[in-house]
Structure 1
Amino acid sequence: MRRRIAAAIGSVALVGATAFGFAQTATAAETGPQATYLWLFQHDDFGGSSKNFSGDDHDLSNTFWNGTSSRVDNGASSMKNQTSRDVALYQNVGCSGDNYFARANSVDADFSNNSFDNKASCVDFR
């Protein structure tokens, strides 16, 4: 009888450990692909339309908010940098003029506090 109880407890422990291991893997996989983008948002607090970037875009005048025909140029008010790289935003196409620096894995819910609201015209990954 004790053998059966010990075997049952061992089986439950093995199944629980296996399930826990799968949960850890799924969580890591879910965050991996999401962590490859800089997201710009049209409004404060990550509201309105959004646009994701995985690399440089030196001319936002020909880049559109996801699912719209509205240009991103001079229209961003908040950002989430979910990449492991720093990103510089510039006021002028071609990456010149006033700039904003987004550290890797950072967020900013309001560009107004940095005097960069509705100014981004260039995205430059570092």
Structure 2
Amino acid sequence: MKKALVCTFLTMATFTWTSGAAAHADSRNSIRDGVICLYEHDNYKGGQACFGSHAWDLSWTGGEDGVGRNWNGTNRAVENGASSVKNNSRYWVFLYDGRNYKGTFYKAKPYSSDADLTKNSGNPSFDNRTSSLAFKGI
């Protein structure tokens, strides 16, 4: 009985540890619903910064909401630094090359992604140009 119990426990512990490691490794690929995430490099690499459903001026460095405009875990500014994007919301999100939602824009369709903002069909090249963004149709 003791041997069977020990064996069962070891099997469960190994399974739990493996499942946790797989979930952690996958976290950059599974962003939460309703946000857009910008990435510092092509193919969703480098820094990551995710924003929820309203307008964001990326030049702003923080405030009452506690949200800075730096790549997660760094002091590097997001403004003019995005090279890829994942829109995990049901809204169109417009990325603007000017502050305060002005200038040339890139349209991110609902539930879409772009691994390289320099190669776009129907949008201008937008690598390292995003200064502000706004969710449309809310």
CA distance in 2, matches of 1:57, 1:48: 23
Does residue 118 of structure 1 match 2:116?
A: no
TM-score when scaled to structure 1? 0.71
CA distance in 2, matches of 1:117, 1:41: 10
CA distance in 1, matches of 2:114, 2:135: 17
Please give the per-residue CA displacement for 1:80-122, whole angstroms capped at 9, x wherever unaligned.
Answer: 0001111000001101111100000000000001310000000
Q: Which moved more, 1:54-63 or 1:36-45?
A: 54-63
| Bigger Rg, structure 1 or 2 | 1
For structure 2, the residue ranges without an aligned partner over 5 or more in a row are: 1-30, 62-68
Q: Quick one: which amino acid aligns to residue 35 of structure 1?
A: D
**Counterpart for residue 4 of structure 2:** none
Q: How many residues align?
A: 94
Alignment of 1:9-88 (within 5 A): 34-61=32-59, 62=61, 63-88=69-94
Deviation at 1:51, TM superposition (A): 0.3
TM-score when scaled to structure 2? 0.65
| Mapped contact 1:58–1:93 kept (Cα < 8 A) | no
Q: Quick one: which amino acid aligns to residue 112 of structure 1?
A: T
CA distance in 1, matches of 2:54, 2:32: 18
For structure 1, the residue ranges without an aligned partner over 5 or more in a row are: 1-32
Higher helix share: 1
Deviation at 1:56, TM superposition (A): 3.0
**Counterpart for residue 115 of structure 2:** 109
User: Any runs of at least 4 consecutive aligned residues in structure 1 with deviations exceeding 6 A, and if so which?
Assistant: none
Which of 96, 102, 105 is the aligned partner of 1:96? 102
